[in-house]
Each structure stands twice: as structure tokens, then as C-alpha cells.
Amino acid sequence: MELCDLSAFEIAAKVKRGTLSASEVLDSVLKRIQDVDGRPGSLEAGEITAQDQAHVHAFITRTVERARQQARQVDAKLAAGEPVGPLAGVPFTVKDIFCVRGTPSTAASRILVNFVAPYSATPVERMEAAGGVMLGKVNLDEFTYGSSNESSAFQPAPRNPWDTSRVPGGSSGGSAAAVAAGEGMLSLGTDTAGSIRQPAAFCGVVGMKPTYGRISRYGLIAFGSSLDCPGPLARSVTDAALMLQVIAGADPHDSTAANAPVPDYLAALDANGGSLKGLRVGLSPDYNRITFIDAATGELHQQALPAEIEDNVLKAAGRLAEMGADIVEDIPMPHTRYGIPVYFVISRVEAASNLHRYDGVKYGYRTPERVQDLPEMYRKSRAQGFGLQPKLRILMGMYVSAAQYAEQYYNRALRVRTLIRQDFERAFDLRQRGVHALLTATTPTPAFPIGDVYGDSVLMQYADQLTVPANHAGIPGISIPAGFDSTGLPLGVQLLGPDFSEATLLRIGRAYERATAGDAWRAVRPRTLGA
């Protein structure tokens, strides 16, 4: 085993004990990046070669000198007997939707190609203050608009380490791919409709969307301000808990960050000796159906999840029952089917509003062409700077929020969003025999081939249909690896809980890891890493 294959928890413990140096760990991770990642994404990528197709391409910007300096600082503090933080020497990556002082912060868009952030996002600051070593900024769907990572303006786009002909998921695809391939033990991602959990499932790692407000959004380049949630991606539940412990909490820079106390997430993993006795975990038939739109009529139709996906959830429920959980079936979640249509409306209104700030004046891309006046400069800068997905969201967002259509679309979507939230409130009402958590599939399919879905915005969005209800409701969710399908692609299961129940979800997830620790699939490595 190489040092880069150790967990974040193990590395931090060894570095603090002095049995490893932060610089040694960093050298191992940099070698892994050199071996598997290939060239970073760029605006002028040229032809995608066969060699490109065999690599992961997680990064847009690598901050090697920054990382070396941070590793040396950790080692120097330890040598001087000074305290170091809980992430001492742990290499991590940052989705390039977060501002990081002195680094390009592009949101994977041409329109921000020359923007160097003058400050760092609060979660990044907290990870660096805790002794973390930042390796660089990883790729994503442009402005997080996508579920495959194919929409990035910076190519080659990331590929799935388990099968490089497949997508890593999105929009935090670079984060999930980097963690799965050992290019850093942790990654900071965002989840607006499933953008942490879906790529986590596709890449066989752990991804957590926290309660809205649990983690500060200060320094996050906004997509949907009422939906965006920063969160951790890691290779284990313990590592996710460790990272969440560091980045959670109130922030005077963000009025939406909750003032609720941050529990000891690591201690919660071993609550009740690791047993789940006393916890009720629910299954909902409404999460066992795929909703899709009839292209001809616009009507919603449903079909059952693929048997392999549904069976995997039932197997996971059985393992949780072995750990003492009480499995409750038939939890009704009737408005789940409307999650995607509601998201189409609300997210695009919020995206259109947030994208208005990119006009070629204050920062970012400005057209090099001669223009006659300011409106023409706006038009050309935005036309040349934005990719297809941002343009589509601006157009739809402006349409559905217009005065003559707002009641028909936007206001109605807000009301249905409330109904989705109420479904969860009833499900989690313990006074009415509710459950502590819901167990579902994370995605309706494993990772799909590159190019199969890209270009079909509706079909692409439906990859998030099992994850997006949690964003509407603002509740936490975690995706954990749960084996493989018949072709060897990772599958994930999802746990959803009430507001600020992250500790409970982590506890259940850790119990599942313990229950499956001896399973053969736990020893399988991504194909990019060899046998």
C-alpha cells in the first residue's frame, strides 16, 4: 500500500505521532497524480487523444508549491512541539467553484478564466487552518450545471477511475474522481441537486450533503442560492466525519449559516458501541420508481428502478438490520416524483439571477472585439464567455420568472417544494412512528458512458431524481459505497435524515461499513490503479 492509499484519519494520526511527515505524504500523492491524472483541463485542449482517454483528468489548477509550503509548515510545527490541527498533513482538493486566495477560481467557465480570487471561502480556510494540504482546484460542470462533468469549458473533462470510458458524475465529478483515484484523501464539493452524492455513488466514494446552513457558503460561487450546500467527499465515513467536523459551523460572513452547535461527529460514529439498536430506518416505495417525461405530451410517467439497483438497497437494509436497526417499510413520499420538475424551475430562476453579475466589467472575461457601446459589450462578452448550459439556464430562468408566467411556473414550483418538505417532516416524525433515516438508492443507474446523455438537458437532469428532494427540503443526506453492478461499476446507497441529523447518518453509514468490512468487493481497486 502506498501512503496515498491511507485514510485521512490514519494520515493525520501518523503525522501527529511523528511516524510520517506531511512532506512524505504529499510526495506520495503527487506521484499518484503524475501517474493517473494526465494533463489538467484547459480552454485550449485540442484533440482528445487515446492517452487522454486512459487518464482521470481531475484537475484544472494544481497548487504544488502552495501544498509543499503547507506540508513544510505542518512538519515545522511538529518539530517545534507546537499543536497542529485535526487534518495535519492530509492532502485535499477543492472543487473550482470555491474562491481560494491567490488562485484562479473559474467555475469551469471561460467567463471567469482570468479571475484570481482575493479571498478564500470559509470551508477552505478552515481546512487549511486545520493542517490540511491543498493540492489544487478540481474540475466540474460549468458553474455546476450538469450531472456528468462533460459541460466544463476546461477539457479534457474528468473520467471515472473505475472505467475511463464512463463519466465520474457531476457536478462534483473532479472531486469524486480525485478521491477515488487516491489524488488526495478528501475533497470539498457542493451539492445543489445531488452534485456530491451522485458522483460519489458513480465513483465508489462517500459523499455528504449536509443540512442547508450547516456549512458556510461564503466564497462559494453561487448557482442556486437556496439549494447550494458545500460538503465533503472522502473514501470512508470516518474521513467524511473528520472533514465535516472541521468545516461545519456558524460564520459571520454568511447570514444563512446556522448558529446551531456542531456535535462531535467522530464520537458519534461509535455511539452505543456501534450498534444501531433503537434506530428506525425506513424504505419508501416512492424511491423505487423512476419518473420520466413523455417527450410528446409532457406528462410524467413512472417505471420501476432496475432490479439490480433495488436489490442492492434491500441488501443494505438487511446489513443494517444485522447491526440492530429496525427496518420500516412502505414510508410514503408521494411528492418525490415532482422533485426534478420543481428543480428545473427554481434552480434556473436562481441561476439566472446569480449569472447577471458576469458582464465583462468588474472581473472575468471581456470580449476582445471592438464594440459600439456598453450593451454590445455585455452581449458579446456573455455570448463568448458562457457555455451552452449557463445560456440555457438564463433563458429558462428569465422566462419562468417573468410577471406573466411566474404564477404558472415559479410560484407553483415553490408550493410543490413545500409539499416535498412536508413529506420528509411526516416521515421523520418520531411521535407518529416515523423513522430516524430513510434508505434509498443514490442513483437510478451506475455511471453512464461519456457522450451518451450529454446534450439532453432533461435526460441528464433525471440522473439526480433520487437526490434532489433532499435539496428542496434542506435536509442532510449521505451516499456510501454499496458494492458493484454486474459489469463492475460502483453502486451507492443513500441515507436521508431530518435537519441537523448528520451525526445519526454518519453513525448508520459507519455501521454499514463495519457490517460489510469482510465483503470481497471492499478490496477491489479502481481500474486506473491496476490490480
User: Could you tell me if residue 455 is left (phi over 0), alpha (psi between -120 and 50 degrees) or otherwise beta?
Assistant: left
Cβ 137 vs Cβ 59: under 8 Å: yes
The DSSP symbol for 259 reads -
In the residue annotation, 171 being an active-site residue is answered as yes
The DSSP symbol for 451 reads T
In the residue annotation, 109 being an active-site residue is answered as no
In the residue annotation, 95 being an active-site residue is answered as yes
Nine-digit cell string for 265: 461527529
Phi, psi of 263 (to 5 degrees): -70, 175
The DSSP symbol for 5 reads G
| Residues whose CB falls within 8 Å of the CB of residue 371, separated by 6 or more in sequence, listed in order | 377, 380
CA angle 193, 295, 201 (to 5 degrees): 30
CA dist., res. 136 & res. 93, Å (int): 5
The CB-side HSE value for 127 (13 A sphere, CA atoms) comes to: 32
Catalytic residue among 195, 236, 479, 501: 195
Q: Cα torsion for 107, 108, 113, 114, to the nearest 10°?
A: 40
Q: What are the helix (H) ranges across 337-478? A: 339-355, 374-385, 388-401, 410-427, 457-461, 468-473
Tally of helices (H runs) and strands (E runs) in the chain? 17, 13
Catalytic residue among 95, 109, 152, 401: 95
Catalytic residue among 105, 151, 171, 236: 171
Match 460538503 to its residue by C-alpha cell.
Answer: 231
CA dist., res. 423 & res. 331, Å (int): 10
Cβ 158 vs Cβ 59: under 8 Å: no
The DSSP symbol for 80 reads T
Quick check: bond before 42 cis, omega within 30?
A: no
CA dist., res. 486 & res. 470, Å (int): 29
DSSP state letters, 261-307: PPP-HHHHTTGGGG--TT-EEE--GGGSEEEEE-TTT--EEEEEPPH
Q: Is the dihedral of CA 329, 330, 332, 338 positive or negative?
A: positive
DSSP state letters, 195-246: TTHHHHHHHT-EEEE--TTSB--TTB--SSTTT-EEEEEESSHHHHHHHHHH
Q: Cα torsion for 9, 197, 208, 320, to the nearest 10°?
A: -80
Q: Is the dihedral of CA 351, 353, 359, 361 positive or negative?
A: negative
Residues taking part in catalysis:
95, 171, 195
